[in-house]
Amino acid sequence: MDPNTAGWALVVALFLPLVGAGALAVMPSSMDRQIRRAAVAITGVAFALVVAITASFDFGRSGELQFTTDVPWITAINARFELGMDGISLPLFFLTYLLTFLCAVYTTKHLPEPGRPKAFLALMLMLQTGMAGTFVAFDLVLFFIFWELVLVPMFFMIGMWGGPRRDYASVKFFLYTLFGSIFMLVAFLAIYFAAGAETWSIQALSEMAPFGTATFQTWAFLGIFLGFAIKVPMWPFHTWLPDAHTEAPTVGSVLLAGVLLKMGTYGFVRIALPILPEGAVRFAPLIGVLAVIGIIYGSLCCLAQTDVKRLIAFSSVGHMGFVMLGVAAMNEAGIQAALFGNIAHGVITGMLFFLAGSLHERYHTREIAVIGGGMLKKIPRYGVLLTYVAVASLGLPGLAGFWGEFTAMWAAISPGLGIGDQYGGLYLGLVVFAAIGTVLTAGYFLWLLQRVNLGNPPERWASEPLDDVMRIEWVSWTPLLLLILALGIFPVLVFGVQDAAVANLMGYLGG
């Protein structure tokens, strides 16, 4: 495939899951097993295509858009169907297809009540198109459509296959996200009119920036900020996340943590920063402060959790705080750190949610006190995996979690774009608190391991036959486990791809 002309490949990869969802919908519900296999086949083919796209991606020019498609779409408002991918999109796009494929594999054996794989998998495939589209859409209107497309399938996934408080969690998730995204839409329209160029193209608008008055930049950034900050989620807009994550079925949590949250940071980096650089510089200290509050608050909440899954959910708040700290640094290293942290968090936390799901399948509870320890003795392989991923998540050097957090703090010491002159002291303080946050993170993860892994299994479980890691779990987890190690040892796998694209971005920001 020639990355300059093969725009079709991206279009096919993007809409294959949606077509697949339609195909699943017409299969009779009684063909339970065939439906699950068909979903694996669809996501597998899509993933293979994305691997092929990645293989033929021209890494030498990763700063430029490749695999582009650009055709008129809604002429009345000058919206175009503009797709493409550069070094920033590629890792996230790849991750989306990998995780969905693994989720489909996982679903061949595990599906929570009330079953109905047809509806579940069709929704998952719809979700996949929405998520993937967000990362390759280069037209603001198109971006918004994909962004919103994610809501409905996720709402149903949580609402129909979720835990006991699923009604509350699904509606909260939907309304919260919707609230932010409508403000975002208003801001997009304001950008369109302020630029006066009759274009929604993210590239074209970035090149034109900065435009509009200072007031416009501030208000437009505020609108976009609300949309993205809720999705990330940043403190204090995070309250939907613990509920949604805890109640969602395993696959839903994996995709929510693995991909959906990334849409928020991606939006900041791709849209908010380059198109509204002045607003971004004005908001950067605020973003930094909220990010660090998120780190500290998230880890303190984790210390107080009694439910494993809810603990992992709150840990996301902290980790995304590091990512946003990188964004707030407004320099090349910071953006790199944010994007790397994005990928690392997607892989690690996605994996943690898989583990939490399997934990519930075995113990039928996620309460730490009820599990009561001894997993290393009772189900040793599972215990080892949990240790490995938890340690990766707390940022042990050599595993994926380290680079994002370390680089983000390093970058925030000397923020770019002249922010350092004015707020140097503030940022230094932020880094200190973030460092305290890493200690707390290590604290709650190690404490978790101590409570569930070590010691002897309590009597209640001692005689219970619990399965250790099953074959299907090995199949769906191994790629993630390897990725955690690979990204830790060769962070250049992601840093290198993003390098030119991030440099481009800093060019728009004037740094």
Partner 1 sequence: MLIDWLAIAPEIALTVTALLVLFADLNLRGDAKQLVAPIAGLGTVVAIVFTAILWGDERATFGGMFVVNEYAVVFKLLFLGALLAILGISWRFFAEGRYYQGEYYFLLLTSFVGMIIMPSARDLLLLFVALETVSIPAFIMAGMRKRSLYSSEAALKFFLIGVLSVALMLFGISLVYGFTGTTDLAGIAAAIAAAGDVEPLLLAAVMLVVVGFGFKISAVPFHFWAPDTYAGSPLPVAAMLAVASKAAGFAGLLAIAFIAFEPLAEFWAPVLGVIAILTMTLGNLIALQQRDLIRLLAYSSVAQAGYMLIPFGLARPGATVVNDAAVQAVLFYLIAYAVMNIGAFGVAIAVHRRTGIRSLRDYAGLAQQSPLMAMGMTVFLLSLGGAPPTVGLWAKFAIVQAALTDVTMFAVVLMVFLVVNSVIAFFYYLKVVKTMWMDQAHEGMPALEPGFNLSLVVIVLMVGTVVLGVLPGLISDATSLTSLVAAG
Ranges within 55-114 binding partner 1 (CB under 8 A): 73-77
Question: If binding is defined by CB under 8 A, does position 189 make contact with partner 1?
Answer: yes
Residue found under tokens 């404490």: 447
Candidate residues 41, 48, 175, 435; the one interacting with partner 1 per rule CB under 8 A: 175
Nearer Cβ to partner 1 (156/340): 156
Candidate residues 170, 206, 358, 498; the one interacting with partner 1 per rule CB under 8 A: 170
Is the CB of residue 465 less than 8 Å from the CB of residue 362?
no
Q: Cα torsion for 68, 69, 74, 77, to the nearest 10°?
A: 30
Q: Which stretch binds partner 1 (CB under 8 A): 8-16, 167-175, 443-451, 478-486?
A: 167-175
Question: If binding is defined by CB under 8 A, does position 442 make contact with partner 1?
Answer: no
User: Distance between CA atoms of 309 and 247, rounded to whole angstroms?
Assistant: 9
Question: If binding is defined by CB under 8 A, does position 185 make contact with partner 1?
Answer: yes
CB of 252 to partner 1, least distance (A): 14
User: Distance between CA atoms of 45 and 426, rounded to whole angstroms?
Assistant: 49
Q: Which stretch binds partner 1 (CB under 8 A): 94-102, 184-192, 414-422, 461-469?
A: 184-192
Question: If binding is defined by CB under 8 A, does position 41 make contact with partner 1?
Answer: no
What does the per-residue mask of binding to partner 1 show for 136-165, with x meaning CB under 8 A? --------xx--xx-xx--xx--xx-----
Q: Which stretch binds partner 1 (CB under 8 A): 181-189, 427-435, 441-449, 477-485?
A: 181-189
User: Distance between CA atoms of 157 and 153, rounded to whole angstroms?
Assistant: 6
Nearer Cβ to partner 1 (67/146): 146
Question: If binding is defined by CB under 8 A, does position 300 make contact with partner 1?
Answer: no
Q: Which stretch binds partner 1 (CB under 8 A): 185-193, 309-317, 403-411, 499-507?
A: 185-193
CB of 20 to partner 1, least distance (A): 17
CB of 94 to partner 1, least distance (A): 25
Q: Residue-wise over 357-373: b if at least 16 C-beta within 10 A, else e? A: bbbbbbbeebebeebbb
Candidate residues 179, 211, 388, 433; the one interacting with partner 1 per rule CB under 8 A: 179
Q: Which distant-in-sequence residues (6+ apart) come within 8 Å of 364 by Cβ?
A: none
Expressed in percent and rounded to 5, the helix, strand and coil fractions of the chain are 75, 5, 20
Q: Which stretch binds partner 1 (CB under 8 A): 104-112, 187-195, 439-447, 487-495?
A: 187-195
User: Distance between CA atoms of 419 and 427, rounded to whole angstroms?
Assistant: 9
Question: If binding is defined by CB under 8 A, does position 11 make contact with partner 1?
Answer: no
Nearer Cβ to partner 1 (168/388): 168
Nearer Cβ to partner 1 (152/472): 152
User: Distance between CA atoms of 496 and 493, rounded to whole angstroms?
Assistant: 6
Question: If binding is defined by CB under 8 A, does position 31 make contact with partner 1?
Answer: no
Question: If binding is defined by CB under 8 A, does position 183 make contact with partner 1?
Answer: yes
CB of 67 to partner 1, least distance (A): 22
User: Distance between CA atoms of 190 and 346, rounded to whole angstroms?
Assistant: 32
Question: If binding is defined by CB under 8 A, does position 193 make contact with partner 1?
Answer: yes
Question: If binding is defined by CB under 8 A, does position 298 make contact with partner 1?
Answer: no
Question: If binding is defined by CB under 8 A, does position 468 make contact with partner 1?
Answer: no
Quick check: helix, strand or coil at residue 80?
Answer: strand
Nearer Cβ to partner 1 (73/388): 73
Largest CA distance in the chain: 72
| Per-residue three-class SS string for 320-360 | HHHHHHHHHHCCHHHHHHHHHHHHHHHHHHHHHHHHHHHHH
CB of 75 to partner 1, least distance (A): 6
Question: If binding is defined by CB under 8 A, does position 21 make contact with partner 1?
Answer: no
Question: If binding is defined by CB under 8 A, does position 318 make contact with partner 1?
Answer: no
Closest CA to 323 of 221, 417, 229: 229
Q: How many CB atoms lie within 10 A of CB 428?
A: 14
Nearer Cβ to partner 1 (30/75): 75
Q: Which distant-in-sequence residues (6+ apart) come within 8 Å of 96 by Cβ?
A: 128, 131, 132, 135, 259
Candidate residues 23, 52, 178, 396; the one interacting with partner 1 per rule CB under 8 A: 178
Closest CA to 213 of 227, 194, 232: 194
Nearer Cβ to partner 1 (221/406): 221
CB of 485 to partner 1, least distance (A): 39
Nearer Cβ to partner 1 (155/235): 155
Is the CB of residue 237 less than 8 Å from the CB of residue 97?
no
Nearer Cβ to partner 1 (171/472): 171
Q: Is 2 exposed, middle or buried (0-12, 13-18, 19+ CB in 10 A)?
A: exposed
Element (H, E) at 69: strand 66-74
Number of residues that bind partner 1 (CB under 8 A): 31
User: Distance between CA atoms of 333 and 351, rounded to whole angstroms?
Assistant: 26
Nearer Cβ to partner 1 (77/492): 77
CB of 249 to partner 1, least distance (A): 13
Is the CB of residue 351 less than 8 Å from the CB of residue 477?
yes
Whole-angstrom CA distances from 374 to 37, 112, 308, 508 are 36, 26, 15, 54
User: Distance between CA atoms of 62 and 505, rounded to whole angstroms?
Assistant: 12
Q: Which residues bind partner 1 (CB under 8 A)?
A: 73-77, 144-145, 148-149, 151-152, 155-156, 159-160, 166-167, 170-171, 174-175, 178-179, 182-183, 185-186, 189-190, 192-193
